[in-house]
């Protein structure tokens, strides 16, 4: 006949056997002695075996109880260790975090921000994957990701980090500087495109006018790295839609200038993505709060 019993009751027996008394065990387990005694009696009844000798003055193991203790002792010792580790993971700033982010953001501010975070919490380890492609976050086991552009993962929690200002730029001596006046004229000048921003969303801040332009035949370079786009624009290869942060050195020197005013690129939203709101391990919660503050100061 199959025997049915509660593993939790067996754990209570294990605690009692190690404490040597119902009173001490009940105190450790934070339960009344009467409840503990009743559950031990239920375990013995379900097993059909006596595990403990009880009298008014002492408690001792039967031969069967000693054999049970010898077999279950390593199991519950290991289980207690596992539970302790899980509790540490929940409450202490330690352990690994897998992060995915675009290459350019890592170069601009995220790399330094993560380094400062790890100096603050030396028992946390970050495994950072950099890609300008939208990798499958679930398949890669990512805990936290930064994405630029439209939200695309409905089941993940998205926290806005900020807006990335975008502009149309060209080298200062390019014919596009004076010849480019309207969006339809973009088809007449060489262009540099940064994937995945293959659709240029343009707007006029003063009027609120918006349009979408899809670069086509006159694209001289298409690359999935916006820093490379910025370098190509600065070299004079063509007009590019690039973030102001990436163009900043050449704008400061006057080598590159904005074109086609008053049209600008629409600011691109930047999001912090993670799966779970609660329960959330401490290390991930700390990193989320830290990056939200860092982005507020940097973006």
Q: State the CB neighbour count (10 A cutoff) for residue 91.
A: 10
**Residue 271 corresponds to which tokens in the numbers above?**
């999001």
Give residue 6's pLDDT.
82
Query: Which residue from 148, 140, 55, 113 is spatially nearest to 290, judged by alpha carbons?
Result: 113
Say how many residues make up the chain.
Answer: 299
Query: Does residue 1 have a pLDDT over 50?
Result: no
DSSP conformational letter for 108: I
Give CA–CA dist 95/282, Å, rounded.
Answer: 10
* C-beta contacts of 114-119 below 8 A and 24+ residues apart: 117/286, 117/287, 117/290, 117/291
Determine contact, residues 240/178, Cβ cutoff 8 Å.
Answer: no
The DSSP bridge pattern shows strands 59-61 and 52-54 to be antiparallel
Give the DSSP H/E element, type plus range, for residue 95: strand 95-101
The pLDDT tens digits for 6-39 are: 888 888 888 898 888 888 889 998 999 899 989 9
**What residues does 60 pair with on adjacent strands?**
53
What's the average model confidence in pLDDT over 193-201? 88
Give residue 69's pLDDT.
87
Query: Does residue 278 have a pLDDT over 70?
Result: no
Domains of the chain with bracketed CATH: 7-91 (1.10.10.10), 95-162+270-298 (3.40.190.10), 163-266 (3.40.190.290)
What's the average model confidence in pLDDT over 161-177? 93
Query: Does residue 159 have a pLDDT over 70?
Result: yes
Query: Does residue 217 have a pLDDT over 90?
Result: no
DSSP conformational letter for 150: S
How far the first Cα of the chain sits from its last, in Å, is: 68
């Amino acid at each position: 006949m199959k025997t049915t019993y509660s593993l939790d009751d067996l754990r209570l027996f294990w605690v009692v056997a190690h404490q040597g008394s119902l009173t001490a065990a009940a105190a450790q387990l934070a339960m009344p002695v009467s409840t503990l005694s009743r559950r031990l009696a239920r375990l013995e009844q379900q097993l059909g075996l006596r595990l403990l000798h009880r009298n008014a003055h002492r408690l001792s193991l039967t031969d069967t109880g000693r054999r049970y203790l010898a077999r279950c002792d390593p199991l519950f010792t290991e289980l207690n260790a596992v539970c302790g580790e899980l509790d540490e993971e929940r409450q202490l700033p330690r352990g690994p975090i897998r992060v995915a982010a675009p290459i350019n953001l890592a170069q601009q501010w995220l790399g330094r921000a993560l380094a400062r975070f790890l100096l603050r919490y030396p028992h946390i380890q970050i495994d950072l994957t950099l890609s300008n492609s939208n990798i499958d976050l679930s398949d890669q086991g990512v805990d936290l990701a930064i994405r630029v552009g439209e939200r695309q993962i409905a089941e993940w929690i998205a926290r806005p980090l900020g807006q990335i200002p975008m502009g149309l730029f060209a080298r200062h001596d390019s014919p596009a500087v004076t010849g480019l006046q309207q969006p339809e004229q973009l088809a007449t000048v060489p262009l540099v495109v940064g994937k995945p921003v293959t659709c240029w969303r343009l707007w006029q801040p003063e009027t609120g006018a918006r349009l979408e332009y899809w670069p086509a035949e006159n694209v001289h370079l298409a690359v999935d790295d916006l820093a490379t786009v910025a370098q190509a624009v600065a070299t004079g290869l063509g007009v590019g839609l690039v973030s102001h942060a990436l163009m900043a050195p050449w704008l400061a020197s006057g080598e590159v200038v904005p074109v086609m005013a008053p049209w600008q690129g629409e600011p691109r939203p930047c999001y912090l993505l993670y799966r779970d709101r609660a329960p959330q391990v401490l290390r991930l919660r700390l990193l989320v709060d830290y990056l939200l503050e860092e982005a507020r100061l940097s973006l």
